[in-house]
Amino acid sequence: MAVGLQVTAPEALLAVAGVQIGVTAAGVRKAQRKDLTLITLSDKATVGAVFTQNRFCAAPVQWCKQHLASGKRIRALVINTGVANAGTGQEGLNNAYAVCTATAQLLNLEPQQVMPFSTGVIMEPLPVQRIVDGLPHALQAQQTTDWSQAAQAIMTTDTLPKAISRQVQVNGRTVTITGMAKGAGMIRPNMATMLGFVATDAAIDASLMKALAHELAEASFNRITVDGDTSTNDSFVVIASGEAGNPPITEWQDPSHASLKHALTEVARWLAQAIVRDGEGATKFITVQVEGGRDAAECRQVAYAIAHSPLVKTAFFASDPNLGRILAAVGYAGVADLDQNQIDLYLDDVHVATRGGRHPNYREADGQRVMQQTEITVRVVLGRGQATDQVWTCDLSHDYVTINADYRS
């Protein structure tokens, strides 16, 4: 059950001018399941994206990178769930390109103007013909499909769809932002087994889009972990359709431009946290904040050591204040000259450890009280500098094992 995750009502998910979405049931893996999404973009649209750092990246990821680099204006995105088209060799590359070709023919585009995305089971062949046959139906469905339906269509082991909207003023124009994401397991930074799509009708110059996608990912999807695994298919795409009527943004110094970037960051961060809240088998949402580091990278290194620890995560699941496990994770995080005598540990408002040892006023009942909450903040103070950083994670439950043991059934 998702932790504190409220599904956004369909009527609260705002349409983005210049972005049309169609969903259909192509039978990619399961009959009658809506599993194919076609997104078409205005001819003014600019696109930026970041992808998995897993070197064994899936065929669609490889084509997405090439098509973005081609300089052709991206006009369509095709997303299938059920089969990841990863670990499929040359056949997988051919299949992903065949989807691009079929989409291009349907829309009178070039294949390089299409970005393909897949998520699901690895090392299974992509049922290309089913997807090709489904594309006209997805195009026709653009007349009635909304973001809520699309957010459901891209799910795998997710229990809830994840989508949200915001509006801001840019140069006197109302600008809309809507985003959706999927992901619940195989979640680790850089990025995760996740697909994320954030669209705005603002006009943003193409030269800014790659850096914008990277900056948004760094503030959101690159700060989450569920289980420490990095997927083969991670993709995060930012779309600016250019239909809001604002002068194209070429820099972020203008206060209204900065407010747009802030809103985009808010949407990306909400989606990233929603993935953790819906982590496979999750019962608790945990913020790990590390302060007093020499730089942010060091703080994040320590935070991830805590967030990845199965011992820490199972203790949270059991509501067991076995908090020495957190200190142990800090110690093996890889900070070579760390002085344990400078470390303080807090669990929400409870001061657990000071200067490397148990705080004299700490009582296990206080730790137990916090551990029983569904949302918890772990705060570690390194005492080495002024830097701070944080990541978001969840606990590790029996259900996580069950879900992944039964993944292909």
CATH number at residue 111: 3.60.70.12
Residue 2 within any structural domain of the chain: no
Whether residue 197 has pLDDT greater than 60: yes
Active-site residue 193, yes or no? yes
Same domain, 238 and 370: no
Residue 5 within any structural domain of the chain: no
Residue 273 within any structural domain of the chain: yes
- Mean pLDDT across the stretch 75-89? 95
- Mean pLDDT across the stretch 32-42? 96
Beta carbons within 10 angstroms of residue 125's beta carbon:
12
- Mean pLDDT across the stretch 320-330? 94
Same domain, 300 and 223: no
Find the domain containing 365 and state its range: 285-405
Residue 31 within any structural domain of the chain: yes
Strand, coil or helix: 104: helix
Residue 322 within any structural domain of the chain: yes
Phi first, then psi: give them for residue 63, nearest 5 degrees. -70, -40
Whether residue 8 has pLDDT greater than 50: yes
Sorting pLDDT into bands at 50, 70 and 90, what band is 186?
A: very low
Same domain, 304 and 269: no
Q: How far apart are CA 230 and CA 64, in angstroms?
A: 18
The residue ranges of DSSP E strands in 229-349, in sequence order, are 235-240, 285-293, 344-347
Helix/strand number for the chain, H first, E second: 11, 15
Same domain, 297 and 273: no
The pLDDT tens digits for 108-121 are 999 999 999 999 88
Instruction: Calculate the average pLDDT of the chain.
Output: 92
Same domain, 273 and 154: yes
Residue 4 within any structural domain of the chain: no
- Mean pLDDT across the stretch 335-354? 96
pLDDT cut 90: percent of the chain above it: 82
Which of 277, 301, 318 finishes a domain? 277
CB 260 within 8 A of CB 168: yes
Whether residue 162 has pLDDT greater than 90: yes
Same domain, 201 and 340: no
Q: How far apart are CA 288 and CA 300, in angstroms?
A: 9
Residue type, 349: D
Tell me whether strands 76-83 and 114-121 are parallel, antiparallel or unpaired.
parallel
Please tell me which residue in 8, 46, 145, 193 is annotated as part of the active site.
Answer: 193
- Residue 184: which residues within 8 A CB-CB, separation 6 or more? 156, 157, 158, 159, 226, 275, 278, 279, 280
Q: How far apart are CA 290 and CA 292, in angstroms?
A: 7
Same domain, 207 and 355: no
- Residue 81: which residues within 8 A CB-CB, separation 6 or more? 28, 29, 35, 118, 119, 120, 153, 154, 155, 156, 182
Tell me whether strands 350-354 and 344-347 are parallel, antiparallel or unpaired.
antiparallel
CATH code at 289? Answer: 3.10.20.340
Residue 105 within any structural domain of the chain: yes
Tokens of 99: 């989807």
Q: Sheet with 46-51: list strands edge to edge.
A: 46-51, 235-240, 195-200, 173-182, 162-170
Tokens of 198: 């954030």
CB 61 within 8 A of CB 100: no
pLDDT at residue 53, as a whole number:
77
Q: How many domains does the chain have?
A: 2
CB 147 within 8 A of CB 21: yes
Same domain, 83 and 140: yes
- Residue 319: which residues within 8 A CB-CB, separation 6 or more? 368, 371, 372
Residue with the bigger pLDDT between 185 and 21: it is 21
Sorting pLDDT into bands at 50, 70 and 90, what band is 230?
A: low
Give the residue ranges of DSSP H helices in 182-254: 206-218
- How far out from the chain centre does Cα 293 lie? 26
pLDDT at residue 183, as a whole number:
81
Which of 246, 277, 308 finishes a domain? 277
The pLDDT tens digits for 268-302 are 999 999 999 998 788 999 999 999 999 999 999 99
Same domain, 40 and 76: yes
Whether residue 7 has pLDDT greater than 60: yes
CB 51 within 8 A of CB 65: yes
Same domain, 189 and 319: no
Whether residue 191 has pLDDT greater than 90: no
Tell me whether strands 375-381 and 344-347 are parallel, antiparallel or unpaired.
antiparallel
Same domain, 139 and 215: yes
Same domain, 300 and 271: no
Cα 141 to Cα 10, 35, 37, 195, 301: the distances in Å are: 16, 13, 10, 21, 45
Residue 3 within any structural domain of the chain: no
